[in-house]
A and B are shown apart, each in its own frame.
Chain A
Amino acid sequence: MSGAPAMSRWRGPLRLIVKRIGLAFLTLFLVSLVIFTISGLLPGDAAQEVLGQSATPEQVAALRHEMGLDQPGPVRYARWLQGILVGDPGQSLVANKPVADIIAERLPNTLTLAALAALVSVPLAFLIGIASAVARGRKLDRALNILTLSMVALPEFLVATIAVLVFAVKLLWLPSIALIPKDPTLAEFVRAYAMPVMVLTVGVVAQLARMVRAAIIAELDRPYVEMAQLKGVGRSRLIFRHVLPNAVGPIVNAMALSLSYLFGGAIIVETIFSYPGLASLMVNAVTSRDMPLLQACAMIFCAAYLLLVLIADTVAILANPRLRQG
């Protein structure tokens, strides 16, 4: 095939993907508006919080002026957005450090935890989902269904508490607090992360496995599957070469949702194990009225979510020959 048709072959999907990216940026912009407006509505005042109850109104007003809190909303928004765009979301009101520095400290921790949890839960979820779909209606499927449903139903704090009780209090195998030393050895690393990863995995695996099962079952009912069986295609080839490519769309979307949860929703796990991640940082920012920090965290979570969904959409477009040829 010559160059020109090959180019035009990719023009369709490229346009679709560029459109998705544009939409993601638009969403992010709208989200920034919402975040800024809502954080302005929170009761309390950072200057008051910093100075404490004994401060005089004059002192508070002076600090407010110094912090730029006395300027009109749109001006503050424009200044803040500009800062975000160049990677400087401002000065933390409480810690008196640049917000970027605080986040730079915590972000790797969150990424490590999320990556580890994803590394464990995604293959596990695929294994359970595929096994369950292939054995649909049989004993294995029913057992796996009961398992995943009860995993979905168990709240995280309960799983975490039980895990601490069993592994830290009774068996004394693992520390109840995930403190990571500088330059940990492999054993230290595994011991520190074992319980947080395990608790996060419980919820994510259950949800993702159920989505994988549903997506594969929907495909298994299509006529091309029977045709493949009548061609003598074996079971594993049927699942991996015939069914999965068609089920990629719904599965990657479910994965994007699960992973974004690992990134931003791990608040309970971080709190219980005193793990220094972004989610607990954001909660602290709310309690201390540290608006720049709060806003920056919220923007990071939204951006991460949009990025994951964008990747999922792109994969789904590229996996579908109809969309790929646009």
Chain B
Amino acid sequence: MADAHVEVRDLCVTVRGPDGAPLRIVDDISFDVARGQMLALIGESGSGKTTIALSLMGHGRGGAAISGDIRVGDATLDGVGARSLAAQRGHRITYVAQSAAAAFNPSRRVIDQVIEPALIHRTASPATARQRAVELFRALALPNPETIGSRYPHELSGGQLQRLMAAMALITKPDLVIFDEPTTALDVTTQVEVLQAFRRVVREQGATGVYVSHDLAVVAQMADHILVLNRGRVREQNDVRTILEAPTDDYTKTLMAAAHPVVAVAAPAARAPEPLLAIHGIFAGYGPVDKAGRPANPVLSDVSLTIGRGAAVGVIGESGSGKSTVARVVAGLLAPTAGQVTLDGEALAQTVSGRTREQLRRVQIVFQNADVALNPAHNVGDILGRVLRFYHGVSGAEAGRRVAQLLDLIRLPAGVADRRCGELSGGQKQRVNLARALAAEPDVILCDEVTSALDTVVRGAILDLLADLRRELGLAYLFISHDIATVKALCDDIVVLYKGTRVESGRCESYSTAPFHPYTDLLISSVPEMRTDWLADESFRNSAPFAGMNEQPALCRFLPRCPVAISGRCDTIAPPLQSMAAGNIILCHRTEEELAR
């Protein structure tokens, strides 16, 4: 490519390994990006994609050594003065970090941080920079573009911060923008809006980009070319269409397959098995409870669901929908203000302290983040042995035998028992986290976003494991996730929560064909598909007739975002529960025929 704007030849990045020996984490990478094009770096964690992106700014994390030839415009890796990559940081080359919530300085106003690159590099006067920032805020579809900058980061949502960070990256009119997994931490519905905003702005500015992601479907909407990476090496490099339609490398095929998890579920649980765990009319929340019994921050209102023996029930919703609170109430970690949890028809005490050890044993919870849930000072054998001793009174050689059995069950070698969790990979840790719950021999496991922090390929393996365990042990799951594809792959029944209310419930199959609740429809349609023309340029949210209205507890919670709300009905009376022909029940004013359209 003669007009290559970015040229990378023989890039290697070396860090000092755990044993002190040099470890090459990026190995002999070469690529070009033409001016005005977007290149995607795709791979799982550990593939070196972020390391490569950062080396384009001459930045090596933790003293990593970068070698090879990198040229961006007329700047090079070892160029002197203004012609070095490091001198271009924040000026000609800019960066959008993965978690904007962490990457913004908590004690400074957002506007000061957004215009800071322009001031440091003297590309604009403060007044001009502010003006340009407001223009960018408007282009990125941020609410109140004139005043949003005067807020502090903790007053803004994740999606807003991510867009503000894009404004910060574009304020100096850079030649190259690096996006490092900018939507990974967001809800699917927010992700769509952020992607739309990014794509529009990048096109308007004519910026050249490098887009780092693990998600092929997201990348398909943003990039012109894709570079597939695995363990620091290039597996495949081509334009987007070719990669999506005719991938040649096996690893690329694995990645594409993992994006759509399909779990070989054996016989789905027989219809209407005996109910094992049921929750009835749960109201719960946080903060002090007032005289009427309402907590200061209500989270759940009137949530009910039933899990049959050996069945898997999925709960989905965005962050803030109260899905984790459901698990906390069932586990007895949070006392509901109203409602009841029953196990085999027997009412459970509101909190852990009132439950018998046997009841505790039968309901186990597995948390999202195994790094935090497992004590780093204990080895795997201790962690599992403690549960065995507590619930089964087993210790000594017998406990060792049981630990080996458990490790076998979660497909880990027996030698793992002597290792600390810090030495295990993310997927292995999540398996141990699961084994900790299995050690109690429970009837039901509450899985709270157990696959959300994992790479797609590892996620697929964990889902397979969960399905196998269910078949072998007859376990029931309450499976909580924000990802409808994951839930559909594993569960028999699915409950959709929106702002703490159950808007839809039904069999898994009924989520494959319309009609859905308008919110379910939004969730499903927000999951990026693996084709380049999926992302519409206009936001769904713009079409909501009551977009300006505040949410009211007495009405449909979804009203301000609903594209099919009916004036005079949805904004005056609470929605009724309706049964659809497919058996799913939704909370909506619209009829089945209207929703199917």
A: residues with CB less than 8 A from B are: 222-224, 226-234, 237, 241-242, 245-246, 319-322, 325
Contact = CB atoms under 8 A, between A and B. Distances in A.
A321 B152 contact: yes
Contact of A232 (B103, B104, B108, B121): B121
Interface stretch (B94-102, B222-230, B339-347, B464-472): B94-102
Contact of A320 (B97, B107, B117): B107
B320 interface: no
Given A230-B57, A231-B117, A222 B102 contact: yes
A230 B89 contact: yes
A230 B179 CA distance: 13
Contacts of B152: 321-322, 325
B154 A322 contact: yes
B97 A227 contact: yes
Given A230-B89, A232-B90, A321 B106 contact: yes
A228 B54 CA distance: 13
B107 A321 contact: yes
7 contacts: A223-B103, A230-B59, A230-B95, A233-B116, A233-B120, A246-B106, A322-B154
Nearest to B103: A227
A242 B89 contact: no
A233 B107 contact: no
B105 interface: yes
Nearest to A324: B152
Sorted from nearest, which 7 A-B pairs have the closest CB atoms? Answer: A232-B90, A231-B90, A227-B103, A223-B102, A321-B152, A232-B89, A245-B107
Nearest to B180: A230
B91 interface: yes
Given A223-B99, A321-B152, A231 B107 contact: no
Interface string B41-54: 00000000000001
B168 interface: yes
Nearest to A137: B63
A229 B107 contact: no
A320 B88 CA distance: 32
Contact of B102 (A224, A242, A246, A322): A224
B106 to A, nearest CB: 7
A319 B108 CA distance: 10
A267 to B, nearest CB: 39
Contacts of B91: 232
Given A232-B89, A233-B120, A227 B108 contact: no
Nearest to A222: B102
A227 B103 CA distance: 6
A232 B120 CA distance: 7
A9 to B, nearest CB: 11
Contacts of A246: 105-107
Please indicate which of the listed interface residues A230, A234, A320 has the most CB atoms of chain B within 10 Å of its own CB: A230
Please indicate which of the listed interface residues A228, A241, A245, A246 has the most CB atoms of chain B within 10 Å of its own CB: A228
A237 B107 CA distance: 15
A242 B155 CA distance: 19
Interface of B: 54, 57, 59, 61, 87-91, 94-95, 97, 99, 102-108, 116-117, 120-121, 152, 154-155, 168
B105 A230 contact: no
A70 B515 CA distance: 92
A231 B108 contact: no
A231 B120 contact: yes
Given A223-B103, A227-B97, A231-B89, 10 more contacts: A226-B61, A227-B95, A230-B57, A230-B94, A232-B91, A242-B108, A245-B107, A321-B106, A322-B154, A325-B155
Given A223-B103, A224-B102, A230-B89, A237 B120 contact: yes
Contacts of A245: 105, 107-108
B108 A234 contact: no
A237 to B, nearest CB: 7
A237 B90 CA distance: 14
Nearest to A249: B107
B154 to A, nearest CB: 6
Contacts of B117: 231-232
A227 B165 CA distance: 10
Contacts of B107: 245-246, 319-321
Contacts of B155: 325
Contact of B90 (A222, A226, A230): A230
Please indicate which of the listed interface residues A224, A231, A245, A325 has the most CB atoms of chain B within 10 Å of its own CB: A231
Contacts of A222: 102
B83 to A, nearest CB: 15
Contacts of B108: 241-242, 245
Given A321-B106, A321-B152, A229 B59 contact: yes
A237 B154 CA distance: 23
A145 B97 CA distance: 34
A267 B4 CA distance: 73
Contacts of B57: 230
Contact of B105 (A229, A242, A320, A325): A242
A231 B174 CA distance: 12
Contacts of B54: 230
Contact of B89 (A229, A237, A319): A229
Contacts of B120: 231-234, 237
A205 B32 CA distance: 54
B524 to A, nearest CB: 33
Nearest to A242: B105
Nearest to B169: A231
B168 A231 contact: yes
A146 B247 CA distance: 59
Contacts of B90: 230-233
A121 to B, nearest CB: 26
A237 B117 CA distance: 12
Nearest to B178: A230
Given A231-B116, A233-B116, A224 B104 contact: yes
A318 to B, nearest CB: 11
Contacts of B95: 227, 230-231
Contacts of B104: 224, 227
A226 B180 CA distance: 13
Contacts of A231: 89-90, 94-95, 116-117, 120, 168
Contacts of A227: 95, 97, 103-104
A134 B117 CA distance: 22
A229 B57 CA distance: 10
Given A230-B95, A231-B168, A237-B120, A224 B89 contact: no
A78 to B, nearest CB: 39
Contacts of B105: 224, 228, 242, 245-246
B190 to A, nearest CB: 20
Nearest to B54: A230
Nearest to A248: B107
B116 A223 contact: no
B459 to A, nearest CB: 24
Contacts of B99: 223
A242 B116 CA distance: 11
Contacts of B103: 223-224, 226-227
B101 to A, nearest CB: 9
A229 B88 CA distance: 11
B201 to A, nearest CB: 18
B177 to A, nearest CB: 12
A319 B120 CA distance: 24
A223 B165 CA distance: 13
A322 B116 CA distance: 22
Please indicate which of the listed interface residues B59, B87, B90, B94 has the most CB atoms of chain A within 10 Å of its own CB: B90
Contacts of B106: 224, 246, 321-322
B588 to A, nearest CB: 38
A226 B99 CA distance: 12
A321 B151 CA distance: 10
A63 to B, nearest CB: 59
A231 B119 CA distance: 11
A278 to B, nearest CB: 38
